[in-house]
Structure 1
Amino acid sequence: MKTNSSSSLLTVPTGLLKISELPPNDTSTSAESIYLSLVIPTYKERDNIKNVVSILSQLLDESILGNYELIVVDDDSPDRTWEIAQSLMTEYPQLRVMRRQQERGLSSAVIRGWQAATGNVLGVIDGDLQHPPEVLTQLLRSVEQGADLAVASRHVDGGGVSSWSVVRRLLSRGAQMLGLVILPGVVGRVSDPMSGYFMVRRSAIANATLNPVGYKILLEVIGRGKVDQVAEVGYVFRERKEGESKVTWKQYIDYIHHLVRLRLSTGRVGQLRRNVNFPVGRFFRFGLVGFSGVFVDLTVFHLLRTVINLGLTRSTILSAGVAIINNFLWNDLWTFGDISQRQRNPHQRFKRFLKFSAICLAGVILQALIINFLYNVLGINQYLAKLIAIAVATIWNFWVNLKLSWRVTDVK
């Protein structure tokens, strides 16, 4: 163990990134333990930390007075964030501070904080107030009601982003779609796999050796832990008021690296125990709509090829586009009608159409690649090749639409 220079600071754990089954120094099963340990990883958050600690302390005092701890884990910030946090400890008795001088990285900072934590429930929240603190009470309630993991999500009812650019929105959704392809059994369990705001029971990740890449740890918790019941709570991601954003292209690259490493690793990642609540009725309706789209697609494809004498690739793309419009209208009215009824605004419907079209566009590209390969390379009949391509694209469309949901977020 490494000892810090000040006795009021937490000792920084070393060795494997593994959470013990029992809290540190808890050798007696009869000993009373803290319910929640909330880790706040920081780096250059001098202007935010006092406000963060004050707001979180007030909120948790109202919910679970005396039954929680806040753990600030600072990566030796040059603005001495750890020192500001340390000065607050006399005012906030539930506050503990760790200064890391030998390690760097948000994910490992969270785990080191959890290793020093005494709580039965372990949580994480950003130190820049972009995660609304008031959502903590909803996450706590979800855990109290039996969830092993409670995740704050931008992609469920009540969630959204305040003023992200189109590029950032596309990157976020693109990263999720990529995750669904590479690691569907992990990424598909939550609507916001890149969330950094959640709570997990200690027992769900105890004794699992965590090996995160980059700044997001949720995938690691789901992939290597024993997480059965998952709950999600909507939250609106806020823009930073103080300090500078730490989002860079490297973080998206790290995310992809993390997905691939989890995919290739052995152990529980490929043997997840999970409660499956498959929406059979919705799948049946989606299938029927897709079946109607097949006839629309083939009819238009036939007309374009025989009447207009259009090329194979252009006929495939145009006929699929008409089928997409057909499928969206029926899915919006019938398959996902229960959700659409709560979002009747024409602007919201148009956003749903764009979202659906973007997902299907990938399916159209997939169709074009498959049909050209089957027809031009393998010599399969063009209509049979088209049917095979449609089948593959339909599976893609259902899976991604199911996981990304049918709703849109309008943040005021």
Structure 2
Amino acid sequence: MVVLSLIIPTYNERKNITPLIARATFVLKKFTDSFEIIVVDDDSPDGTWRVAQDLTKENHHLRVIRRIDEKGLATAVMSGWREAKGEILGVMDGDLQHPPENLLDLVNLIIHTDADVVVASRHVGKGGVSDWSLIRRFLSWTGALLATLMLPGILRTVRDPMSGYFLIRRAVIDSVNLKPKGYKILLEVLARGKYKTVVEVPYIFEERKEGGSKLGSRQYLEFLIHLSKLGKETGQIGRFLRFCTVGFSGVFVNEGTLKFFTEVIGLYYIYSSVLAVEIAIVSNFIFNEFWTFRDRSSLQSAMVDRLIRLFKFNIICAIGGVLNVAILWGLTDLAGFYYLISNLVGIGVSTLWNYGINSNITWEVPVKHIEHELGKAEIKEELDIRDRLSAEHKK
């Protein structure tokens, strides 16, 4: 019985594949001999598949799949998973930017805990990137932000949804119709998979030493298309439109309440405005609670849970209001925009804020998220293994 299947999608990684397989094999043998490493190569012009195939003569854990008529990282991973025999499925890049030594922590956690998904993360603990440019950091941050807005709940589930280095239990994707596109397979798993507990482990994303990056404008476009498709098919775009509809209805509640307290009750209009804002917020909360986020609120329907959500909603929307006013002032007084245009921008930004934060915090997805901190002994073991393998490779 195979316990673990590690999928490594490759394209033009001839210079990296040999040390990568050696390091990954060495680490996995520390846990079990019942594992397989499956290299899925998209018919690399540099013959990566041929080098990997030669390695199978001495490494019985290694299998190679050469794809002729299909390309793409996400679909390569899917091809590997279809052929995999393990109950635990893993993914890592073939360019050594994902240090194989981190498999120590990933495998240890998924074997010895109840975690369904274990992610190597750049955004928890001492994780990070080695030497990224400001532009690349911005693109990575923007991608994570878009994922948070388009797929609410992801931020509460995992801090690094763009990671390409992770392990899952086979049950997470059993009977799930995955439709990956581009190179972000973890997003697909998180959006459609069946899981209860996610653990993140910090790691340092290393710079490529051999070969060239595969990321370009085409890959970023594929990511946006994939994200939009996921948002539509998982119902999140519809949820956002419902949220906006509720917000629009709140305008009429606010105006009507303001008029009532000012002209009928006779309150000073500023006092009426404060009451009108709060009543509109409560009205919006009720509609969102029983319509927009009904599927989530029904999981925690006790009165105390609803009151806690109302409190969170109030605070988040209040911050959104401050954000709206700040943008109105900044664009009008500092940038010279017409105040109504500035206000529209402020409304747009505050709407995204209200939806994104409320989706991830007020009506959070009931998934257990754990950030695993590496101990000194774990870090030392990883470094010792890396130094030993590096010395052997140089020989």
TM-score, scaled to structure 2 = 0.65
Q: 1:389 to 1:101 in 2, by over 3 A?
A: closer
1:214 aligned residue: 182
2:231 aligned residue: 263
1:393 CA displacement: 7.5
2:271 aligned residue: none
Tell me the number of residue pairs that the alignment of Structure 1 and Structure 2 aligns.
297
Q: Distance in 2 between matches of 1:187 and 1:293?
A: 19
1:61 aligns with 2:33: no
Match for 2:65: what amino acid?
A: M
Q: Equivalent of 1:146, from 114, 123, 135?
A: 114
Q: Distance in 2 between matches of 1:174 and 1:44?
A: 28
2:343 aligned residue: 371
1:233 aligned residue: 201
Q: Distance in 1 between matches of 2:171 and 2:349?
A: 44
Match for 2:217: what amino acid?
A: W
**SS of equivalent to 1:152:** strand
1:41 aligns with 2:13: no
Q: 1:170 to 1:123 in 2, by over 3 A?
A: same
1:212 CA displacement: 0.9
Q: Distance in 1 between matches of 2:34 and 2:186?
A: 24
String of CA shifts for 1:2-34, please: whole Å, max 9, x gaps.
xxxxxxxxxxxxxxxxxxxxxxxxxxxxxxx21
1:110 aligned residue: 77
Map of 1:217-366 to 2, 5 A cutoff?
Answer: 217-265=185-233, 313-314=328-329
Q: What are structure 2's unaligned runs of at least 5 residues?
A: 240-294, 365-395
Partners of 2:148 and 2:155 within 8 A in 1: yes
Q: Distance in 1 between matches of 2:68 and 2:58?
A: 25
1:142 CA displacement: 2.5
String of CA shifts for 1:137-172, please: whole Å, max 9, x gaps.
211122120111111111111211111111111111
Q: Equivalent of 1:395, from 332, 338, 354?
A: 354
2:277 aligned residue: none
Between Structure 1 and Structure 2, the one with more helix by share is 2
2:289 aligned residue: none
1:208 CA displacement: 1.5
Q: 1:295 to 1:240 in 2, by over 3 A?
A: closer
Match for 1:371: what amino acid?
A: N
1:89 aligned residue: 56
Q: 1:131 to 1:390 in 2, by over 3 A?
A: closer
Partners of 1:149 and 1:199 within 8 A in 2: yes
Q: Equivalent of 2:47, from 77, 80, 89?
A: 80
**SS of equivalent to 2:14:** coil
**SS of equivalent to 2:209:** coil
2:65 aligned residue: 98
Percent identity, please: 43
1:195 aligns with 2:163: yes
Q: Distance in 2 between matches of 1:49 and 1:198?
A: 19
String of CA shifts for 1:345-380, please: whole Å, max 9, x gaps.
xxxxxxxxxxxxxxxxxxxx9x9757358xxxxxxx
Partners of 2:320 and 2:353 within 8 A in 1: no
1:294 CA displacement: 7.6
String of CA shifts for 1:311-346, please: whole Å, max 9, x gaps.
x94467679xxxxxxxxxxxxxxxxxxxxxxxxxxx
Partners of 2:88 and 2:168 within 8 A in 1: yes
Q: 1:67 to 1:43 in 2, by over 3 A?
A: same
1:129 aligned residue: 96
Q: Distance in 2 between matches of 1:41 and 1:173?
A: 24
1:171 aligns with 2:139: yes
**SS of equivalent to 2:87:** strand
Partners of 1:370 and 1:389 within 8 A in 2: no
Q: Distance in 2 between matches of 1:208 and 1:295?
A: 42
Q: Distance in 2 between matches of 1:272 and 1:247?
A: 36
2:379 aligned residue: none
Q: Distance in 1 between matches of 2:26 and 2:360?
A: 40
Partners of 1:106 and 1:214 within 8 A in 2: yes
1:105 CA displacement: 1.0
String of CA shifts for 1:110-155, please: whole Å, max 9, x gaps.
1111111110000001111100112112111221201111111111
Match for 1:109: what amino acid?
A: A
Q: Distance in 1 between matches of 2:124 and 2:144?
A: 14
1:290 CA displacement: 9.2
**SS of equivalent to 2:94:** coil
Partners of 2:7 and 2:91 within 8 A in 1: yes
Match for 1:91: what amino acid?
A: E
TM-score, scaled to structure 1 = 0.62
**SS of equivalent to 1:47:** helix
